[in-house]
Amino acid sequence: MTRRPLIHKSPMPGLGLSMGITLTMLSLVVLLPIGALLWKGATFGLSGIWETVNRERVWAALFLSFRLSLIAALFNLVFGLLLAWVLVRYRFPGRRILDAAVDLPFALPTAVAGIALTTIYAPNGMFGALAKEIGWKIAYTQSGIFLALVFVGLPFVTRTVQPVIEEIDREVEEASATLGASRVHTLRHVILPMLAPAALTGFALSLARAVGEYGSVIFIAGNIPLVTEIAPLLIVIQLEEFNYDAAAAIGISMLLISFAMLLLINLIQVWSRRRIGYV
């Protein structure tokens, strides 16, 4: 048996050029810088990283980032499914505008979103004042961080689920009804399982985005150590104090979390493709 060749022979032109540009730029812009971070981590080893991370303030920041990101991503999972369903299945005036509005968090710079959300949800802001009436402080608390993370992660679930809903064969829903299933039963046992892989992918993307988010959060967070200080901010603080080793250690922990989530997304897709033949 012969080994599969590294690159199959092809009559297509431009192999050298396209491969050259791709690999050079990928290395220069992405791989070498990430390699520099990993190299830095390797020089002080796992125990060195552990020493930096194993401090109350760092743990608090990592835990806060992850916990609030998880809650925000869960909220976006539910709300994103609802939005996708409404946008695909229902016809109503303003649907196109609503559809376009879903993408705004992708298009709006995070710093702009940050100061806008802070202004609205600060105690003297439009919604902040209302919340204050019932004794709920949003900006400069964990509620504010949650809100900013919901904002940046909003489009992911909707955008991954929408095409799947469009593809659903109406006859499948009808089949469920002719077999005696109520609408709720059909939604729960037929539709939801079909959407699950896409929804999980969107959830993981939304989570990954939230864990690393910086711009939209720092304005509304209040940034009090141990209470409302997120992990990315801690990196920036270490860098401003020229404390490169500590910054690198926290950065590597975050990178590992990102890689774990990337792996999770890929596993979800492989699993769903194996099982039901689509993503």
Q: How far is the CB of 108 from other proteins (least distance, A)?
A: 5
Asked if 261 and 208 count as a contact pair (C-beta separation under 8 A), the reply is yes
Residues 163-182 that bind other proteins (CB under 8 A): 163, 166, 169-182
Q: How far is the CB of 257 from other proteins (least distance, A)?
A: 9
| Member of 42, 46, 100, 129 binding other proteins (CB under 8 A) | 100
Which among 6-14, 48-56, 134-142, 221-229 is the span making contact with other proteins, rule CB under 8 A? Answer: 6-14
Residues 16-75 that bind other proteins (CB under 8 A): 17-19, 21-22, 25-26, 29-37, 40
Of 228, 206, 221, residue with least CA distance to 151: 206
Q: How far is the CB of 246 from other proteins (least distance, A)?
A: 11
Q: Which two tokens stand for residue 138?
A: 């949003």
Q: How far is the CB of 192 from other proteins (least distance, A)?
A: 10
User: Which amino acid is it at 268?
Assistant: I
Q: How far is the CB of 167 from other proteins (least distance, A)?
A: 9
User: Which amino acid is it at 274?
Assistant: R
User: Which amino acid is it at 257?
Assistant: I
| Member of 82, 129, 224, 267 binding other proteins (CB under 8 A) | 82
| Member of 199, 206, 213, 228 binding other proteins (CB under 8 A) | 213
State how far the Cα of 234 lies from the Cα of 236, in Å rounded to an integer. Answer: 5
* 277: region left, alpha or beta (phi > 0 left; psi from -120 to 50 alpha): left
State how far the Cα of 4 lies from the Cα of 6, in Å rounded to an integer. Answer: 7
Q: Which two tokens stand for residue 103?
A: 């993408």
Which of 51/245 has CB closer to other proteins? 245
Residues 184-203 that bind other proteins (CB under 8 A): 185, 189-190, 193-194
Is 162 a residue that touches other proteins (CB under 8 A)?
yes
State how far the Cα of 170 lies from the Cα of 89, in Å rounded to an integer. Answer: 11
Which among 48-56, 96-104, 137-145, 221-229 is the span making contact with other proteins, rule CB under 8 A? Answer: 96-104
Which of 51/190 has CB closer to other proteins? 190
Q: How far is the CB of 151 from other proteins (least distance, A)?
A: 6
Q: How far is the CB of 191 from other proteins (least distance, A)?
A: 10
Which H, E and C letters describe 197-252, residue by residue? Answer: HHHHHHHHHHHHHHHHCCHHHHHHHCCCCCCCCCHHHHHHHHHHCCCHHHHHHHHH
Which of 227/276 has CB closer to other proteins? 276
| Member of 68, 72, 73, 83 binding other proteins (CB under 8 A) | 83
Q: Which two tokens stand for residue 98?
A: 């609503």
Number of other residues whose CB lies within 10 A of the CB of residue 61: 24
Which among 53-61, 133-141, 144-152, 221-229 is the span making contact with other proteins, rule CB under 8 A? Answer: 144-152
Q: How far is the CB of 255 from other proteins (least distance, A)?
A: 6
Question: In sequence order, which ranges of 55-191 are alpha helices (DSSP H)?
Answer: 56-89, 95-101, 104-107, 110-121, 126-133, 142-167, 170-178, 183-186
Asked if 122 and 139 count as a contact pair (C-beta separation under 8 A), the reply is yes
